[in-house]
Amino acid sequence: MKPKISVILATYNERENINDLISEIGYYISKYTREPIEFILVDDDSPDKTWEVVQECFKEDRRVKVIRRTEERGLASAIRRGIQESRGDIIVWLDCDFSMPPYKIPELINKIHQGYDICVGSKFIKGGKDVRGPVDAWTAVVLSGIMSNFIRYMLGFAFKDYTSGFVAARREVFNEIRFGGDYGEYFIEFIYKARKKEYKIIEIPYYCIPRRFGVSKTGTNFREYFKKGWKYVWLTVRLKFNLEETDKNRK
C-alpha cells in the first residue's frame, strides 16, 4: 500500500535515540490517522552505526527504509535525499534527538489536512519556547533567537522561526522548490522560496527541549556556533540582494 505520510530522519550518531524516536512517531501518528506511513532514514555512515541498529530493530517493519550514505555528507543533502526517496503525499522531517516532540507531529499533519501547504513547529510564537539546557548549551538558545530576528528583519516576512527544521509539507511543494546548503541554513531558503511562491504557511508552537542522548551536531562552544551561524548570515544576505546562486541543488 502506498504511504500517505513520509517521515524523513537524517541521522549521524543517534543510535541511543533513533529506535525510540521511530516508535514514538509511529505511535502518535497512528493515534491521529489510519493513513499508511513510511520512515526514510538517511544516515551519513555514523561511527556509532545508527543505520545498523535501525536495520536490526525494524528488520520486520516494511515501513522503515534505511539509506546509508558512505560518501555524501550533510543535513540538507540528507533531507533532500529523503524527499527524493519518499512516496507520501505529506512529507515530515525533524531532528532525531527528541528536542522536537513526536507528539506534535499529528498537529503538523492536521494543518496540511486543513489546507495549508507547509506547517512549521516554532519556538518563537506564543505557546512555544526554547528550553534547551546545558546539554545543548545556552549559546544555542540565545543565538537561535538572535538569528531568527536578524533573518526576519532582512527578508521582511512575518515568519518567526527560521531556525526550526520541524516541518510537514505537501509533496507538490517540492515540485517547485529545492534548497541547497550544508547544515540548518537550508531552512531559510526553503521558507523564503515558499513565501515568494505564495504557498500557505502556518507556524504552530512547541517547546524545544534538551536532546535525550548524545552530543549536539550544531556545536559545543561559541566558536563552532559562530562558524555555522556565518552560513545562515551569508545565505540571508544572498537571498536579500538576489546574489547569484551556483549550488546545483537549487532552482
Contact 69, 85 (CB under 8 A): no
- What is the spatial distance between Cα 132 and Cα 34, in angstroms, rounded to a whole number? 33
Cell 525494524 locates to 58
Looking at per-residue pLDDT, the higher value among 120 and 151 belongs to: 120
pTM of the model: 0.90
Model pLDDT for residues 5-31, shown as the tens digit of each residue = 999 999 999 999 999 999 999 999 999
Average pLDDT over residues 235-247: 79
Has residue 159 got a pLDDT over 50?
A: yes
Query: Residue 192 has what pLDDT?
Result: 95
Which CATH number applies to 5-240? 3.90.550.10
Query: Residue 251 has what pLDDT?
Result: 47
Model pLDDT for residues 193-221, shown as the tens digit of each residue = 999 999 999 999 999 998 999 887 655 55
Quickly state the pLDDT bin for 222 (edges 50, 70, 90).
Answer: low
Has residue 250 got a pLDDT over 60?
A: no
